[in-house]
A and B are shown apart, each in its own frame.
Chain A
Amino acid sequence: MRWFWLVVVSVSLFFSAASWAERKGWQAFEHSQQAVQNKNFDVSYVVFKGDQVTSFRWLHGLTDTQQLEQLIPLDADGVDILRQDNIVYYFTPDKPALVTLSPFIKELPALFYKSIDDLSQLYDPVSGSVSQVGGRSAQLLRLTAFHPGRLNYWLWLDVETGFPIRIDTVSENQQVLERWQVTHFLLTSTLPEPLQGVLDMKLPVPDMRRLQRPDNPELVSDYQLAWLPSGFRKVDDPYFIPRLGSPLLNYWLLTDGLHQVSVFVQRSNQVPAQAYRDGATTIYVQSNEQIDITVIGPVTLDIAQQIADAVRYD
């Protein structure tokens, strides 16, 4: 009997410790989210994808009436992105500006803009050691995926401010696929100076009629997607169906609340199966005599293959 109680106490201690660790992990992450969403800052960061490196300047500020955020690529050919509350503008040197509605800039790490409730359905947070990153003390937080075939995130969060300093997107076998690294950050008490100029600017007001769903091309409904990776669901009615050089026979957009996967079905070019990777994004093409299936998204190649295999013609 004594043994029984000992086991009961040990098991309950183990689970309460695990639960406490998880709570502490999400608390640290929430602190980081607050820093990204509510502080005024002027940050520079780089993104490593394979041997390709791109650099950005990221400005964020709050006034009494609005929230402003700007992402400036330091490459000459990049696109300047500006967010005013939930209106996002894409500015290119020679093209008309693009205006969309979004609560955050999609080119930034989406992790920082999703609710802890949603994230806790997908990831288990495990705190690691404190180390020096870029001359600052940083707490390592590992977000380990519950579902198989998902990418994991390792985050280094500034101990003092909670601000993210480095994010590694890591494959199932612990290979770093993409690295996001802050190279300079400056927290300011007020709106960063470059954003002051935006305040005085008359930005175009989105015309709701023109933001309505565009005329989408007809799809061939005979194609079905018979399987979804665990945790993913189909977006019932994607906002628009891409118009491509080789017309789409069907298209599905999948999401788990944090990541998105696109599945394109086109007429066959009869190419051998191919896979590519753009940082953490897998691009997989599978072809048969009738159709090409292309799966694009931040999933493992194994999952991308299973999605492609699940396209059926009824």
Chain B
Amino acid sequence: MPSKKQDWLSAAIDEQGLSNEHLDALLQDQDLQHRFERYHMIGSAIRQELPKQLHTDFAEQFAAKLAQEPIHQLQSSHTFMQRIKLGAQRAANSDWFKPSAQTAIAAGVALMAVVGVQHYQQPGAQDLMSPLPVLQTRPVAGFASPVSLSQTSVDSRFEQQAQQAMLEQQTRLQELLNAHHQQVRVLDQAQIMSEQRPETRDDQEPDGQL
């Protein structure tokens, strides 16, 4: 009987006592529990105790939002696999001996090696293997100091030209270093090709893959 239920429940909310049987009923009956919650909420609304934004299902909403959050993982092997797959699909060996492709690929590899290059300017010095100034492998914006009118002399113009020539020379050396690394990579290729042909897997089309 809903009205009966309401009577003792309403009385309990008004702090008029609750018998043991009613307490057991409340703990077991979900419908009563919802009713109990709603009555309390009505009471709170009348007393103006409710927060401005009411979220009765805060826990459910939070769980749902959490489930939608992307999973962050450092150095994900899955991402790397995708990268390999993508690269493998676009493998283009026929291009990599052309100057542009070769330089582009090699530059990426050489970048991790070249920055530590050191430099000396005394070909006649005896101690040629001693620590040397660092080679600038990329144009450096702050290379030339700010020039005021009084400093714009013939000397500084020569200095700028010399720096420009130095940067060109470094770019050229970078290209040669890349070519050397590339040469080392393919050093054994001819020998391996003559010794054994790599096994061709049946489930793939050899032609057009590279």
Contacts and interface: CB of A to CB of B under 8 A. Distances in A.
Given A77-B111, A80-B80, A302 B203 contact: no
B114 interface: yes
A260 B198 contact: no
Nearest to B85: A201
B128 interface: yes
A97 B91 contact: yes
Contacts of B210: 99, 204-207, 210
B128 A302 contact: yes
A82 B116 contact: no
A247 to B, nearest CB: 10
Contacts of B105: 79, 90, 92, 95, 98
Interface of A: 49-52, 54, 57, 72-73, 75, 77-80, 82, 85-93, 95-103, 106-107, 171-173, 175, 177, 193-194, 197-198, 201-208, 210-214, 235, 237-240, 242-246, 253, 255, 260, 262, 264, 269, 271-279, 281, 283, 285, 294, 296-297, 300-302, 305
A103 B192 contact: yes
Instruction: From A204, A211, A238, A253, name the one whose CB has the most chain B CB atoms within 10 angstroms.
Output: A204
B92 A277 contact: no
Nearest to B104: A95
B97 A243 contact: yes
B183 to A, nearest CB: 6
A269 B173 CA distance: 12
Interface string B72-108: 0001011011011101111111111111011011001
B123 interface: yes
B109 A171 contact: no
Given A214-B97, A235-B187, A205 B200 contact: yes
Contact of A197 (B77, B98, B165): B77
A90 B109 contact: yes
A300 B177 contact: no
A97 B92 CA distance: 6
A96 to B, nearest CB: 4
B185 A106 contact: yes
B209 A207 contact: yes
Contact of A294 (B87, B92, B95, B176): B176
Interface string B158-174: 00000001000100110
Among B75, B104, B173, chain A packs the most CB atoms within 10 A around the CB of B173
Given A50-B118, A79-B109, A194-B77, A240 B183 contact: yes
A283 B210 CA distance: 33
A245 B114 contact: no
Contacts of A49: 113, 116
7 contacts: A50-B131, A100-B189, A210-B94, A211-B93, A211-B189, A283-B176, A285-B173
Nearest to A296: B180
A78 B108 contact: yes
B182 A242 contact: yes
Contacts of B189: 100-102, 211, 239
A262 B181 CA distance: 9
Which of B116, B177, B179, B188 has the most chain A CB atoms inside 10 A of its CB?
B116
A300 B127 CA distance: 11
A203 B173 CA distance: 34
Contacts of B87: 80, 89, 91-92, 95-97
B151 to A, nearest CB: 26
Given A102-B189, A102-B192, A214-B97, A54 B131 contact: no
Contact of B83 (A91, A194, A210): A91
A297 B91 contact: no
B40 interface: no
